[in-house]
Structure 1
Amino acid sequence: MNIQSRLDDDADSGRFKAPSGPIEQVRYACALGALASVIAIEGAISITHCGPGCASKQFRALSGVSGYQGGEFHAPSTNIGNREVIFGGADRLDELISSTLKVMEAELYVVQSGCIPGLVGDDVANVVNAYQRRGVPIVFAETLGYRGNNFTGHETVVRAILDQYVAQQAGSAPQTRKGLVNVWSLLPYQNPFWRGDLAEIRRILEGIGLEVNILFGPASLGLEEWRAIPAAELNLVLTPWLGLSLARRLESVYGQPFLHVPAIPIGARATGAFLRQVAEAVEADPARVERFIAREEREYYHYLRDFAGFYSGCASQYKLPSEINIVSESAYALAIAKFFVGDLGLNPGVFVLTENPPDSEQAAIRAAFRDLAPGVDGEPIFEPDGHRAHDWIARRPRIGEYPILFGSTWEGSTAGEIGAPLVEISYPATDEVVLARSYVGYRGALQLLEHAYTAVVRQSTEENPEPSAS
């Protein structure tokens, strides 16, 4: 099957369904925004075949208003206009690829096409195939904005790299490396904390003796890890749904099993269970696993003991929250809900999931929100529209509850309306500058507690500038 046929199959599979009507305060980019995923791979360059400004706007939107992450944005673009709409833009793309190869050095070039080439029918695959036949490390991904968002665009780009680059590097029978795990988790740049979170996931997996292909961000070795993907013993999907199709693809091509853990672990209870589950899947040394968990838990509970002094002693001084509400993409919403409901005992409020996941995945996501704590279920709402998300939270009846709201900058007015402190954990986040912060694992949970209860204290202090010292 050629490249174009595979892409057409993906587009027609029904994995993405655009919401009907206009969306207010949309929480994702278009499929071309997956260029951020390419930028997150050390040694890779995205070449975009799209209209003027499309590429820069996509990256600036994801990087700039998602914790001011920054990043190396070097994405050549055809910036096609009226001439290419009338006569086609394939020649313009060919010229751009040729020029890019002369002036920009990379281990991999990823050509992404946008809306205009898709509408006018440019044969981008044929242009790229010519360079592939010459041995250029280049792949093609059709990331048409009207076919999906940057979540589904991410999977399209990764699948293109797997099929057109990794498969060529691996040969026919890659040798499995004992203890090597591929991690498919948070979407680069969409989540403000992805860099720190992936680094922490790598740290704890290496702590139990595993070798890890983390694949994206500064914690990754770049394309060296991508070339090693077929040698992995296991694919670990650490999100409610993103990456599942990739793991299934690798299972069919290389026979690699995969482990799906929907909830990214936050805190000692979830992280210990997660590490034991992964260790069992790869038959890691149980004694080493338990030693690492014991060492991490000793430090974690030392800090938690000290936090308990604040938690028990300041209830009369500050409005400590009793109800948690979340507006976020599903991966963080599930992880944070499980931590605050399961570990801290907060009551579940409204959980709004914003990334518009495929219809085929929504039942499994709903199931993942059950049993947040023994006998306590959450009911997620799939809603990409910010105004409707506000209504869901603001109209919830509350009697005797102190709510806390985890969301984006856009939830500021909602938090004020319900009298809740706001903790920014989702896109867009313009009141936070994020570099290497993490909220997952052992260390991330402590930072999350610091951040959340600093917001609680700050709001209480603003409402009562002279609190009692008792």
Structure 2
Amino acid sequence: MSYFDQKVPPKREDRLKAVIAHQDSICGLAKRCEGKGGKSCLIDDGERGFTQGSICLLLPALAMLNTLPDNVVLLHSALGCGSCTHSQNANVRVGSAVRQGKARDGIWLSTALDETDVISGGEPKLEQAIIEADRRYRPATIAIVAGCVPGIIGDDIDGVAQKLQTQVSAKLLPVHCEGFKTKIWATAYDAVYHTIGRNLLEERGVTDPKPEEALAVLREQEREARTVNLMNVSSMGRVDEQELERLLTALGLEVNVFPVFSHPDSFVKATRAALSISTCPTHDDYFLGYLQERFDVPSIIRHMPIGIANTSLWLRDVAAVFGAEEQVERLIAVEEAELREALEEFRPLFQGKRVFISAGEFRALATANLLQEIGFEVVGIRSFHHDEFADEEYGKLAKEAKTDYVVDIANVQPFEEANLLNRLKPDLFLGHANGNMTAAKLGIPTHVIYNTGLAYIGYRGAYEIARRLHRQLKNPAYNRNLAANLWLPYTENWYGAEPFSYLNTRGRAENE
């Protein structure tokens, strides 16, 4: 039975055996993969005797859903669960302006469940909210997003959606984001794709359009035969989309960016494409499997196009599907030669500089590869989780590493990070916009690893990252001043302790 036949997608701990509590080294993880005879280097998850807070599934799910035009997000949970949408709205406004020529705000509502609803049930309030949202905004879709509260008290958002579907004009999209059900918040991507697959692709996209003109039919078939789905769940800004569109167009392909900022009525294009291309396996594997299973759309889910080598590998994989191997080699030769020449001015400052990287699994590993390419020495990586899709990346990094270095699998856990940074004393730290504070307060220059207004992807992204890091390292005074005037809440005893003393990783001995 397909996962999409179920109301709720499986959590990643079950589907991918993903883990969030493990410590190893880059060479150790690469060796594990080699020792499996080409199979996945799955590892047993561990536990921490002490943990600090992480984010909830709602944050990445709402980041995707709020980008959809003509959509209302109806959050069925406590009011505070939607607080992240206030900061996300800047991305919605900028993203819609650069893609559609007009800034718009994301529309989100909340049923604001309270103590009374916990006791008596929140379904009546949800029904009223759906009818009011449809009457007030007349959207194409209403995404009904369940937080923890309805999951605990047993509210059936799928049943409510089915009951009211004939009473409203909007298509109702139940999304299960009960945060307590999983520790892998990347499951949120699966939750959003699950409702898209079940509710927006089943009715449409199975039959081809039927133009009256035979010539129009032929032209449409030719276009679809060269159309590729370019997956983006909000981790790329428009500037990165344009870079990949530029490279794919140079191979004679037409690009359908999906799903962010795509109107629900246009989702049918994804079912008719000749190929789906992942830009991040962490985000895309669940839905690409469904497109292949249900609509026979093949997919490539291997490399992330960050850095010189990975971008070239990504392009070669795509070109091989369309028989454009010679064309892509000419393109790569020109792009790499131009990029390497442009990077020369930055390399003298980067040589010998040590860097620590913290991010989602694939972005952290792909960015580490780029930093090694431009002259940095990687001394540590913190990945927010681990699954089988990173196996090949460990081997790439280990091959180019000057010395072995630590890999911390952790859903943030800043106390471990502070200990590691205090020991390693890197010259640079790359992390998420809301995750650079620890390094900054230790006086380490920081750079954001993900910002939809900046370029990170492809050959252009490699140059832009290098240019920004060069400027950052030339003047690190800001971080020195922070360290002189601020402090972290950790004691000297903790800085002197073993950084993974609270981590018990089960099953390590049998795999070594």
- Indicate the TM-score class for this superposition, using the shorter chain for normalisation: 0.7 to 0.9
Match of 2:508 in 1: none
How far did 1:272 drift? 2.7
Paired residues for 1:97-116 under 5 Å: 97-116=130-149
CA contact 2:140–2:264 (8 Å) conserved in 1 = yes
> What per-residue deviation string (whole Å, max 9, x for no partner) do you get for residues 291-334 of structure 1?
54455446434523xxx24544xx5xxx8543221011123212
Secondary structure of the corresponding residue to residue 79 of structure 2: coil
Match of 2:417 in 1: 389
CA contact 2:441–2:479 (8 Å) conserved in 1 = no
CA contact 1:321–1:403 (8 Å) conserved in 2 = no
Match of 1:231 in 2: 272
User: Amino acid of the residue matched to residue 165 of structure 2?
Assistant: Q
The structure 1 residue matched to 2:192, chosen from 140, 157, 174, is 157
Q: Tell me how large the CA RMSD over aligned residues is.
A: 3.5
CA contact 1:213–1:225 (8 Å) conserved in 2 = no
The structure 1 residue matched to 2:172, chosen from 131, 138, 145, is 138
User: Amino acid of the residue matched to residue 452 of structure 1?
Assistant: L
Match of 2:497 in 1: none
1:171–1:64 CA distance, 2 compared to 1 (3 A)? closer
**C-alpha separation between the residues in 1 aligned to 2:254 and 2:155?**
42
> What per-residue deviation string (whole Å, max 9, x for no partner) do you get for residues 6-43 of structure 1?
134625972477876664363x3334651221112233
The structure 2 residue matched to 1:280, chosen from 317, 320, 324, is 320
1:92–1:4 CA distance, 2 compared to 1 (3 A)? farther
The structure 1 residue matched to 2:247, chosen from 204, 207, 212, is 204
User: Amino acid of the residue matched to residue 58 of structure 1?
Assistant: C
> What per-residue deviation string (whole Å, max 9, x for no partner) do you get for residues 208-234 of structure 1?
2222221244xx553354221111112
How many residue pairs get matched?
Answer: 426
% same residue: 20
1:214 aligns with 2:239: no
Match of 1:371 in 2: 396
How far did 1:443 drift? 1.3
Paired residues for 1:17-32 under 5 Å: 23-24=51-52, 26=54, 28-31=55-58
CA contact 1:213–1:226 (8 Å) conserved in 2 = no
1:40–1:380 CA distance, 2 compared to 1 (3 A)? farther
User: Amino acid of the residue matched to residue 246 of structure 1?
Assistant: F
User: Amino acid of the residue matched to residue 303 of structure 1?
Assistant: A
**C-alpha separation between the residues in 2 aligned to 1:335 and 1:240?**
11
Secondary structure of the corresponding residue to residue 475 of structure 2: helix
How far did 1:44 drift? 2.7
How far did 1:350 drift? 0.5
How far did 1:196 drift? 3.2
Secondary structure of the corresponding residue to residue 382 of structure 2: strand
1:378–1:166 CA distance, 2 compared to 1 (3 A)? farther
**C-alpha separation between the residues in 1 aligned to 2:437 and 2:13?**
38
**C-alpha separation between the residues in 2 aligned to 1:152 and 1:447?**
31
CA contact 1:41–1:215 (8 Å) conserved in 2 = no
**C-alpha separation between the residues in 2 aligned to 1:326 and 1:12?**
23
1:147 aligns with 2:171: no
Larger deviation: 290-299 or 32-41? 290-299
User: Amino acid of the residue matched to residue 386 of structure 1?
Assistant: P
1:287–1:138 CA distance, 2 compared to 1 (3 A)? same
**C-alpha separation between the residues in 2 aligned to 1:105 and 1:295?**
50
The structure 2 residue matched to 1:328, chosen from 359, 363, 385, is 359
Secondary structure of the corresponding residue to residue 372 of structure 1: helix
> What per-residue deviation string (whole Å, max 9, x for no partner) do you get for residues 45-96 of structure 1?
22211112322x1323556799x99972311211121232222221211111
Q: Which runs of 5 or more residues in structure 2 are unaligned?
A: 21-46, 96-102, 210-219, 481-512
**C-alpha separation between the residues in 1 aligned to 2:141 and 2:340?**
44
How far did 1:253 drift? 1.4
**C-alpha separation between the residues in 1 aligned to 2:479 and 2:297?**
54
1:450–1:457 CA distance, 2 compared to 1 (3 A)? same
Match of 2:230 in 1: 183
**C-alpha separation between the residues in 2 aligned to 1:181 and 1:233?**
6
**C-alpha separation between the residues in 2 aligned to 1:29 and 1:61?**
15
User: Amino acid of the residue matched to residue 391 of structure 1?
Assistant: N
**C-alpha separation between the residues in 2 aligned to 1:298 and 1:17?**
39
How far did 1:263 drift? 2.8
Match of 1:247 in 2: 288
CA contact 1:48–1:114 (8 Å) conserved in 2 = yes
**C-alpha separation between the residues in 1 aligned to 2:131 and 2:479?**
59
User: Amino acid of the residue matched to residue 423 of structure 1?
Assistant: H
**C-alpha separation between the residues in 1 aligned to 2:4 and 2:121?**
17
Q: TM-score, normalised by structure 2?
A: 0.73
**C-alpha separation between the residues in 2 aligned to 1:156 and 1:133?**
24
CA contact 1:390–1:411 (8 Å) conserved in 2 = no
Secondary structure of the corresponding residue to residue 75 of structure 1: strand
CA contact 2:310–2:366 (8 Å) conserved in 1 = no
**C-alpha separation between the residues in 1 aligned to 2:345 and 2:12?**
56
User: Amino acid of the residue matched to residue 291 of structure 2?
Assistant: L
1:36–1:282 CA distance, 2 compared to 1 (3 A)? same
1:127–1:221 CA distance, 2 compared to 1 (3 A)? closer
Match of 2:152 in 1: 119
Secondary structure of the corresponding residue to residue 474 of structure 2: helix
How far did 1:289 drift? 3.6
> What per-residue deviation string (whole Å, max 9, x for no partner) do you get for residues 409-443 of structure 1?
544443564x64322225xxxxxxx5631111111
Match of 1:60 in 2: 86
Q: TM-score, normalised by structure 1?
A: 0.79
CA contact 1:50–1:80 (8 Å) conserved in 2 = yes
